[in-house]
Amino acid sequence: MSFQNCSGQLKCSDLKNGIFELKSETGTTIIERNGNTQIEKNHGLNYYSDVEWITDCKYELKNHRNNNGELEKEELNSVYTVEIIEIMKDSVRIKTTANYSDKSLERTLKIIELK
């Protein structure tokens, strides 16, 4: 399946709302972003974060909440900055950094559905 807008190319702004799949060593995580909320679903648990867009290609994830909607104590002041660095026809490459680390992590998300 290919996701393209009328000009034939996806833009960062096309990825603000949708469902994505991340495969990693811990399993498959389904990421659903809608408006200012992101839900990460993994192993039957849901984790919620507020999304704040900095630019069309960069956003921050804050106020991480667990399955019960309670703030995660170990994530209380954590801010994750996600930058879209490459858009392919059915996936997107992102780079994630955190306010508590100098390290960055690059991953590829499969696009399941755009809204």
**Which CATH number covers residue 21?**
2.40.128.20
Question: In this structure, is residue 101 part of a structural domain?
Answer: yes
Note the helical H segments in 10-76: none
Predicted local distance difference test score (pLDDT) of residue 54: 97
Question: In this structure, is residue 7 part of a structural domain?
Answer: no
Question: In this structure, is residue 73 part of a structural domain?
Answer: yes
Question: In this structure, is residue 44 part of a structural domain?
Answer: yes
Question: In this structure, is residue 77 part of a structural domain?
Answer: yes
Question: In this structure, is residue 2 part of a structural domain?
Answer: no
Predicted local distance difference test score (pLDDT) of residue 67: 78
Instruction: Look at the block and give the residue holding tokens 């507020």.
Output: 50
Predicted local distance difference test score (pLDDT) of residue 63: 87
Given a contact cutoff of 8 angstroms between Cβ atoms, the answer to whether 90 and 1 are in contact is: yes
Predicted local distance difference test score (pLDDT) of residue 75: 74
Question: In this structure, is residue 47 part of a structural domain?
Answer: yes
Predicted local distance difference test score (pLDDT) of residue 8: 63
Question: In this structure, is residue 5 part of a structural domain?
Answer: no
Q: How many domains, the chain? A: 1
Output the tens digit of pLDDT for each of the chain's 115 residues.
Answer: 444 444 568 999 999 999 999 998 889 999 999 989 999 999 888 999 999 999 999 999 998 888 777 776 777 789 999 999 999 999 999 999 999 999 999 999 999 999 9
- 27: containing domain: 12-114
Predicted local distance difference test score (pLDDT) of residue 44: 86
Residue type, 106: E
